[in-house]
Amino acid sequence: MSTLSLRQGYLAAFGAVAIWTGFNLVSRLAAKSALAGTDMLALRVGVAALILLLCGGLPRGALRDARLWLLTLLGGLGVSLFAYSGFKYAPAAHGGLLLPGMQPFLVALFAWLLAGERLQRHKLPGYALIGAGLALSALPLFSGAGGDSWKGDLLLLLASVSWAAFGVLARRWAYPAWPLTRAITIMAALIYLPIYLLWLPKHLAAASWPTLLFQAAYQGGAAAIVAMVLYLRAIAVLGAVRVGMLFALIPVLAGLLAVPLLHEALTGYLAAGLACVSLGAWLAARQPAAVAAAVPAACGAR
């Protein structure tokens, strides 16, 4: 793998991390508005599909590809549907911990189950530090949770499972990032929008125009399209396991940014969690020279 390809992979990964960090903050803002999870998903897939229809539409033969339908259910609908539904019951901060925070472990599991990738020993200290950091960050959040919060946590965990399985399968089947993004987004709209328009409750009229425009732009443009392309490019170059490690940075970064943006308190637990997760992600994402030399050069050309 060339140095240029490796650099591009990391740039794509950190771009996706930045957008997904913002996703947690923007979704917290949406939870305070009149919009429900069903409305958020409609905005996401509707706006994204409209943009992509103007930028090339569905790739030829996409509707006949069973693998694309599975990836659509996992990455185009499953992640968002479970996540937005989970925010109805659980505190929004739980989303950062259960969605990207669980990726290092879930991706490694699915990479073993679906792709036959074995866990490398040099990653174990990184896993341990990431786990410790997430536990520290989660302690004050989950210790005060009660009522129906467990329902939201379960839905958020299902969203994380969907995202991990999607990432591993997308890399294994080696679809190019841009055609795959177009396919799963438009196909998700074909599935969900008729259901939403015919049967689901709608609260769009109760939200202000600035809220609708902002959420539509971020959820349908940045999160659904730009972050997806960057994520797929990153896993093609770096692998789903290494990108999953870097995604462990998101919950603590979102927690830190929530201090000035959402006026949330910065706790000692969060600061300690950031230190542990940052060091753990670096340790687990790095690749010794001996291992890197064994990676086929074709991996970076996917």
pTM: 0.84
Strands (E), 47-195: none
pLDDT digits (tens, 9 = 90+) for 148-165: 777 888 898 999 999 999
Radius of gyration for the chain, computed over Cα atoms and rounded to the nearest angstrom: 19
What pLDDT band is residue 289 in, cutting at 50, 70 and 90?
A: very low
pLDDT for 59 beyond 70:
yes
Write the Ramachandran bin of 231: left for phi over 0, alpha for psi from -120 to 50, otherwise beta.
alpha
CA atoms within 13 A on the CB side of 270: 19
Question: How high does pLDDT run on average in the chain?
Answer: 84
Give start and end residues of each alpha helix (H) in 32-77: 37-53, 66-71
The pLDDT of residue 41 is 93
| Range(s) of the domain holding residue 45 | 3-301
pLDDT for 45 beyond 60:
yes
The pLDDT of residue 25 is 84
Domains identified in the chain, total number? 1
Report the candidate in 225, 253, 116, 92 with the shortest Cα–Cα distance to residue 171: 116
What pLDDT band is residue 294 in, cutting at 50, 70 and 90?
A: very low
Residue 160 or 142, more confident: 160
Helices and strands in the chain: count of H runs, count of E runs: 15, 0
The pLDDT of residue 206 is 92
Identify the residue whose tokens are 């950031």: 274
Lowest mean pLDDT segment, chosen from 13-22, 89-98, 249-258: 89-98
pLDDT for 96 beyond 80:
no
